[in-house]
Chain A
Amino acid sequence: MKNLKNYIKHILSHFSFAFWGGFCVWTISFFLPYVILGEDSYIRIHDTLEGELVWLHIMKQNGVMHSLLNEVKIAQLMHGLPRNVMPSGFTFIANICNVFGIFYGYIIGQYILKTIGYFSFYLFIKKYMTLPRLNENVLVATSLLLTSIQFFTPFGLSVMGMPLLAFGFARLYYNKKSLATLLIFFTFPFFSSFVWSGIEMIILFNIYLVYLVIIKHDHVMKWIYAWMAFCIGTVLANVQFIYGMLFLKGFRSHRVAYNLYTEMPNFGRTISEFIGFFFSTHYHISIFISLLIFVLFLISYFGIEKNKWSKNIMKAIFLIVLWQAFYPFIEFLISDITFIKSFRFNRFAFLLPFLWFLILLISMNSIAKYRIWLRKTIPLIIFSQFLILFFSNDETAHNYKKLIGIDNFPSFKEYLALNSFSEIKKIAPPSIENKVISIGMSPTIAQYHGYSSLDGLFSVYDLGYKLEFRKIFEKELQKSNWKKKEYFDNWGNRCYIFPAELQMETVANNMCSNDKEKLRYLELNMEQFKKMGGKYIFSAAEILNAKSMNLNLLKRISPANAYWVIYVYQYE
């Protein structure tokens, strides 16, 4: 007991009073909007409410979150989507959503992930960076900046956990061998995404091991232990996905038909993408506007002192962005290798926010060399960077705008139409036999309410099914421009009905909300719809020629203040 007390005391001694002050500010500012707004809070739609987050809800509802067998299918999705093509049920975010539900699980999960980022970034700075000119408040404020960035919570620590991994690497480098170091590497995969950081980390780790053995001739065993801990953790955390990937029979992923680059990528566009990635990272990673930090780097490196770390980190950023921008050329040139097409090895950008923050710290340390004028700019730099991150963090910005009543984005409750579906369930009860398609709104909304859907957004599903589903709206694709056709045929993760009269981004940008659109000439193959088990259509746009397709309008659902006006059609 005494030992435990001493250990806790030892741990707490690493953190200053300012650190705990920062922690309180962060906690209050994070929870304030959620406590006040409740389910009227905004939660990101793209790849979150429209996908990953609702998948967790569906897996929970179907009782397949932790199932391991490849034979297990989710009957509610398509014609029974194999569970093992869905995200792992053994990750932190999956389990927290399993316990608290997706709304509270998402909020609590995001708080914990960002708190891990805050603690580990502070520890990394204090223990392994030499910044003698920066005082404690600046270090705490910079660590707090990390909690302000926009990131995708379903991808876990993939971005936010980089300081933790760097901390683990630094401990190895300085020969601090302990169980705690191995534990960092072992547990990290349970908190992060296999696709967004797991594979990439293993690749980088392997490159580093080769460098140590061949070039540096360094003692390699400690690194191998860490590598093993990381690999074992990755396999255990993603055992369902890996097992499914290797042994799932009778299933051919739609990803093998990916054909994202039908012609040689445009060089001019690649350059503009390079600039885009460099100054705003990648929206799946974090919208991280780096202009200010880049200028500070130029000023401090060329104008004040040449710090070799800052130069090396900038080189790493440059290489990552270069790889990301020019990856389409690689994908085009080796498009025959299905494995490369399916996996997309261009996702190293998850390192960028952390690397930019390191440059910010080093640059501020150089700037603080000048005591009269320049040192005074440091609070302004941090405050400006905070504002930039605050504006670009859609969730924080929308929630604070909602608090003052000036936001027009849908809340969690509005987007998932919680009020409307209690009424819809009375006239069109959900069942496995009577399948549904959605038009103008995300299919995950119907899926969330227990409906069995023919459509959906999935990272992996059966190619044969995709071709069958295509027959339902083939005529609409023929009427559409090439862009929509390519979007579905050459990518197709969004297995949606794309009416020719609506823009391709209709669902992504909620263009059909509040009864804004009408469909006059919709042509669906209703025989195919029936053959696939279709019975209902939930449309956010009124189908004016419904009778011609034997569609009977059951009801127009529009409760007071609803975000969607939903037309419920039944195929007769």
Chain B
Amino acid sequence: MLIGSFMYINMNKEKWIFITIIATCIVSVALAYYIFVIMSKEDVALSSFF
């Protein structure tokens, strides 16, 4: 996704950066939700993940 965005950066930089930022926001939040909310359903200490 990121590499693709940079490949087209010269064609329409602002648009591609915009799409990359939106996608990264979604992916990062989803990842955090998966790790900390879904995976931590058991009584497991936080440190066990890391």
Contacts and interface: CB of A to CB of B under 8 A. Distances in A.
B45 A508 contact: yes
Residue of B41, B43, B44 with most chain A CB atoms under a 10 A cut-off: B43
Q: Give the interface size bracket for A toward B.
A: 35 or more
Interface residues of B, number: 35
Chain A, interface SS category: helix
A291 B14 contact: no
A554 interface: no
Interface in A12-68: 44-46
Contacts of A510: 43, 45
B28 A292 contact: yes
A372 B44 CA distance: 45
A299 interface: yes
Contact of A377 (B5, B18, B47): B18
A505 B48 contact: yes
Given A291-B24, A373-B14, A283 B37 contact: no
Contacts of A116: none
A287 B21 contact: no
Interface in B3-46: 5-6, 9, 13-15, 17-18, 20-22, 24-29, 31-33, 35-37, 40-46
Interface stretch (A79-87, A388-396, A454-462): A388-396
A370 interface: yes
Contacts of B37: 391, 397
Contact of A289 (B25, B31, B42, B44): B31
A449 interface: no
B46 to A, nearest CB: 5
A264 interface: no
A282 interface: yes
A295 B45 contact: no
Nearest to A277: B50
A282 B20 contact: no
B44 A509 contact: yes
Given A295-B2, A394-B46, A384 B29 contact: yes
Contacts of A302: 6
B3 to A, nearest CB: 11
A410 B33 CA distance: 21
A373 B15 CA distance: 7
Contacts of B29: 384, 387-388, 391
Given A372-B14, A374-B14, A287 B43 contact: no
A46 B46 contact: yes
A127 B33 CA distance: 35
A287 B49 CA distance: 10
Contacts of A129: none
Contacts of B28: 289, 291-292, 295, 384, 388
B31 A291 contact: yes
Nearest to B36: A391
Contacts of A394: 36, 40, 46
Contacts of A513: 43
A429 interface: no
Contacts of A44: 46
Contacts of A299: 5, 17, 20-21
B48 A508 contact: yes
Contacts of A295: 2, 20-21, 24, 28
Interface in A246-283: 276, 280, 282-283
Given A291-B31, A373-B14, A508-B45, A367 B6 contact: no
B36 A392 contact: yes
A288 B21 CA distance: 19
Interface string A164-198: 00000000000000000000000000000000000
A392 to B, nearest CB: 5
Interface of A: 44-46, 150, 276, 280, 282-284, 287, 289, 291-292, 295-296, 298-299, 302-304, 367, 370, 372-374, 377, 380-381, 384, 387-388, 391-392, 394, 397, 408-410, 505, 508-511, 513
11 contacts: A283-B47, A287-B36, A295-B28, A303-B9, A373-B14, A374-B21, A377-B25, A384-B25, A392-B32, A397-B37, A510-B43
